[in-house]
Amino acid sequence: MQRREFFKKAALTAGAVGLGITTSEAGETHQPIDNRKVSKHTFPEKRPLITYSDRPPLLETPRDVFTSVLTPNDQFFVRWHMPDIPTHIDPDTYTVKINGLVDQELNISLNDLKTKFEQVEVTAVLQCGGNSRSAFTPIAGGIQWGNGAMGCATWKGVRLSDILAKAGLKKDAEWIGFNGSEKVAYYETPNFIRELEISELDDHVILAYEMNGEDLPYLNGYPLRLVIPGNYSDSWVKMLSNITVTNKYRSLFFMDVAYRVPDNDCECEDPEKRVKKTKPITKMNVKSIIGYPTTGTELNNKSHVVVRGLAWDDGHGIQDVMISTDNGKTWDKALLDDGKLGRYAYRAFRFAYKPNTYGEVTIMSKAINKLGDEQPLAKDIKWNHGGYKFNGVDEVKVKIV
């Protein structure tokens, strides 16, 4: 009897589960697309990942990887803007150049970085500002990422502030530009350059050459990348070639056009009426993901299920993760791990769930940080044209049999 009810219900909802976008009405927002399969083709140093494009490589990490606090390098997502990434980098001759408003121009080799500066480590979440973009309707510009345009790693390298101190900043130094090594394919394509105001930088910002105890994978920015804990990764420039100090903000495509949200309290706008005044996306908002079980998992009614996942914010720290198994009517606290990897890392959560029903069950997770910020329900997330910063309550749909 219960089983028959389930199959009836499943038939009604099957078409809608995971398809998202096509079934919703304009202006409504909901869950990101969550049913894409990994590709059979792999990239160097990578296991099969959800593949949006081969050139440039755009690879997403599948949901079931998000049960462990550190994301394995070979399953770490990949995002490049330009198709033409250098195919050969010689670690013995590679240097990063520091120029502009400095007392002494520097060309620092990898060996110098590893031996002439204090070595530091930070575990931090790297998340694209467009992660989960496919939740927005109408479709927001950019890659229609599901939930996996993110990962967390222990980054090892040298403090940017130590390098700038060595070069010596001139009095009027205010902005720092970071260039990647890739070349543009068309004249009208801008170089990938990001700029940061010197006042935004603190000691946590590093130039990293190591990720989870290994050289950076080629696709994640070998041999050197910028790491800005707590900030969206769109400024974590990979394959760094140049750091240029200036006294004024240079107007650049990736600063002025991309990676911005409306400059109002809700950071939102009407799709029909774009807000003109915008601001760059910087700090990450509070968010969580359920790594187990995933949508479509069949669980026996007799089983003791341990729901597992991860929560994070911009470094204020996670206070609680709440779980609901009754469509948000009631919420219970999950158990959090000890948080020993620091405030910029994922916090793992676990929740004991004993199904007492049959059929489809929606499991939801909602993180709350130490400021009291909590994830809104996905349906309450407001639209912005770039599809940035989606942090709706996460959900998976399982079948209890």
Ligand X SMILES: Nc1nc2c(c(=O)[nH]1)N[C@H]1C(S)=C(S)[C@@H](COP(=O)(O)O)O[C@H]1N2
Site string for Mo ion, 33-72 (x = CB under 5 A): ----------------------------------------
Residue 166's closest CA among 96, 250, 90?
Answer: 96
Closer to ligand X by CB, 221 or 392: give it.
221
Strand partners, 120: 157
Q: Which residues contact 253 (CB under 8 A, 6 or more apart)?
A: 190
Residues 228-247 that bind Mo ion (CB under 5 A): 234
Q: Which stretch binds ligand X (CB under 6 A): 14-22, 23-31, 77-85, 117-125?
A: 77-85
Strand partners, 366: 322
Q: Does 260 bind ligand X (CB under 6 A)?
A: no
Q: Which amino acid is at 249?
A: Y
Helix (H) or strand (E) holding 4: helix 2-13
Contact 396/351 with Cβ under 8 angstroms?
no
Q: Does 387 bind ligand X (CB under 6 A)?
A: no
239's contact among ligand X, Mo ion, none, with CB below 5 to 8 A by partner kind, is ligand X
Alpha-carbon span 105 to 277, nearest angstrom: 37
Tokens 């349906």, located at residue: 379
Residue 49's closest CA among 28, 31, 63?
Answer: 63
Residues 171-190 that bind ligand X (CB under 6 A): 180, 182
Closer to ligand X by CB, 131 or 325: give it.
131
Q: Does 389 bind ligand X (CB under 6 A)?
A: no
Taking CB under 5 A as the criterion, the residue among 113, 128, 206, 219 binding Mo ion is 128
Alpha-carbon span 369 to 390, nearest angstrom: 16
Residue 114 DSSP SS3: helix
Q: Which stretch binds ligand X (CB under 6 A): 11-19, 89-97, 236-244, 310-318?
A: 236-244
78's contact among Mo ion, ligand X, none, with CB below 5 to 8 A by partner kind, is ligand X
Alpha-carbon span 400 to 74, nearest angstrom: 33
Residues 78-107 that bind ligand X (CB under 6 A): 78-81
Site string for ligand X, 190-219 (x = CB under 6 A): --x---------------------------
Q: Does 46 bind ligand X (CB under 6 A)?
A: no
The strand ranges marked E within 21-149 are 50-53, 58-60, 78-79, 95-100, 106-109, 119-127
Q: Which stretch binds ligand X (CB under 6 A): 5-13, 233-241, 289-297, 348-356?
A: 233-241
Residues contributing to the site for ligand X (CB under 6 A): 77-81, 126, 128, 180, 182, 192, 220-221, 233-234, 236-239
